[in-house]
Chains A and B, each alone.
Chain A
Amino acid sequence: MALDNDLVKRYKEKFGPAILEAWTDRKQAILVVARELLGEITVYSRDNEKFDWLSDLTAVDWPKREKRFDIVLNMYSFEKNERLRLKVQASADERVPSVQGVWSTANWMEREVFDMFGVIFEGHPDLKRILLPDEWQGYPLRKDYDILTQDTAWVRENLGIESGQ
């Protein structure tokens, strides 16, 4: 259901139209914000709203949407004992500002999103694959990457076997 409490009011006051949507789902607050202002919004969240701990940064793929990726940031504030979820929508060829400068922990989280979804984070110091081998082709967690797909060329070259799938 839609959310319009003090917190959302403060965000809307500061960033105006950049706050696209605000709602709660299962009693957890979610804000959808514009991609271009993600950097400023996260700095504001950390410094003014005291969300100094980034719990998780991940992505969800909605291939039927035009902006297929949902980049999801779960933040937590020690002072207020409160969680807040920020979402940013991006299409496959759009770059998302990196929040690695705001919370250092985002470094590996963004690398994993790049590895699994192919989202490129602007301003990340070292964006390369983290879980899969560096030369792997394909982004596994996208919905168009079938569960049985493998980078058969890589497997043939590096493991010396013909992938059974």
Chain B
Amino acid sequence: MPDERIPFATHADQTVLGADEIVLNMGPQHPSTHGVLRVKLRLDGEKVIGSECVIGYLHRGVEKIAEHRSYQQFAPYVDRMDYVAAVSNGLGYCEAVEKLLGTEAPPRARVIRTILTELQRIASHLFWLGTHALDIGALTPLFYCLREREEILKIFEKFCGARLTTHAFRIGGLQYEAYDELEKDVERFCTPFDKRVDEYESLLTENRIWVGRTKGIGILSAKEAIDYGASGPVLRASGVKWDIRKAMPYAAYDQYKFEIPTGKNGDTFDRYIVRMEEMRQSRLICLQAIENIPTGPIMGKVGKVLKPPPGEVYHAIEAPKGELGYYIVSDGTTQPYRVRIRPPSLINLEAFDKMIRGHLVADVVAIIGTLDIVLGEVDR
């Protein structure tokens, strides 16, 4: 009988042979739930017939805090949401406030922002690849990916002083001029990076065990992905060719040529291929960008005290995890009236229940890994 305590139980999910079902709790503390995520699984033997994600263990009330800080004061809080890709969060927030103010960052700042955001995309995908492979059992790619990521974090440290929660950008542009060897460092990182991605692919893409663990797992069709509001690599792997960097360009993306990788089947393997290809495309963007960084001011004409005229704006960027949107309402004072952050990880996680039905327990970690969630962003 469906268990009344679990509201999502329906007749369609009853067990084969009418056997008792087990409720398995992958608790908030688990080596593979990428943070404090609790997943309640209903199992028929090894097969998952229902699931419920319980979140909120990392809820810090960031949106409430925003209403009590000035626009500039709130910027460091934004890094702490998706702490794996802090630079993108900062970019989205700064651009949203700039839209609210009606200004734009100067060209030099825009190009440097693009370079750093693309490096951050590579770093985020590298971390995703390492942990995803580790969950499925491949112990080695993690260390190779972290070795590459180390180079990117060194660049961030030289640029703004912090590796993880960078607060790299300011509203209106950049605060500090880019350091002298930025172009050289980026070039030194990007030039051999293609071969490194080949190295990771050689360990995984052709490997029978990897293909067997990821092909056909967690299939999300294009229609379902759109219905569930999925975005980013999850949506692209299901076949929908959409990237905000091309559809509604921001920063300096309209100046560069790059491809948008898409998948066909929407399974875990396709999401893996899409993200690997995205890393290569990000590298191309960086190489194009450093060839021609315009000179000029790095900060636009924004005063010290920011009082945007009353109104609202919704600005979305393509964060590594998906569409990161900021809906900011201003009432004319120095503090925002409402800041809503549309977290891509949370919305992608909604599709988890759909993706896990019918699979085995061993696939739960593969699917959580492939959704690439960061609990800081899910819970804010």
Contact = CB atoms under 8 A, between A and B. Distances in A.
Interface of A: 25-26, 28, 30, 52-56, 58, 60-61, 72, 74, 78, 81, 83, 85, 103-105, 107-109, 116, 125-126, 129-133, 140-141, 147
A129 B316 CA distance: 26
Given A74-B327, A132-B59, A147 B314 contact: no
Contacts of B342: 55-56, 58, 74
A54 B229 contact: yes
B105 to A, nearest CB: 16
Contact of A25 (B8, B67, B312, B346): B312
A56 B314 contact: yes
B51 to A, nearest CB: 14
Contact of A60 (B99, B247, B338): B338
B99 A26 contact: yes
A137 B8 CA distance: 24
Given A56-B325, A60-B329, A147-B64, A104 B350 contact: yes
B56 A107 contact: no
Contact of A78 (B7, B242, B313, B323): B242
A58 B340 contact: yes
A140 B99 CA distance: 28
B40 to A, nearest CB: 13
Interface residues of B, number: 41
Contacts of A107: 350
Given A72-B327, A81-B247, A105-B350, A55 B228 contact: no
B100 interface: yes
Interface of B: 7-8, 55-56, 59, 61, 63-65, 67-68, 99-100, 102, 226-230, 240, 242, 247-248, 311-314, 316, 323, 325, 327, 329, 337-338, 340, 342, 346-347, 350, 379-380
A60 to B, nearest CB: 5
Nearest to B68: A147
Given A72-B340, A107-B350, A131-B55, 10 more contacts: A25-B311, A56-B325, A74-B325, A81-B247, A83-B314, A105-B228, A126-B7, A131-B56, A131-B380, A147-B68
A27 to B, nearest CB: 9
Contact of A141 (B55, B63, B347): B63
Nearest to B235: A53
A103 B59 contact: no
A128 to B, nearest CB: 8
Given A105-B347, A105-B350, A140 B227 contact: no
A53 B314 contact: no
A78 B325 contact: no
B68 A53 contact: no
B55 A130 contact: yes
Contact of A28 (B67, B247, B313, B323): B313
A78 to B, nearest CB: 6
A81 B316 CA distance: 13
B229 A105 contact: yes
Nearest to A145: B64
A54 B225 CA distance: 11
A55 B316 contact: yes
Contacts of B102: 26
Contact of B313 (A26, A61, A104): A26
Contacts of A125: 7
Contacts of B56: 129-133
Contacts of A56: 314, 325, 327, 340, 342
B63 A53 contact: no
Contacts of A104: 227-229, 350
Contacts of B340: 56, 58, 72
Contacts of A53: 226, 229
Contacts of B55: 130-131
A131 to B, nearest CB: 4
A140 B229 contact: no
A78 B246 CA distance: 12
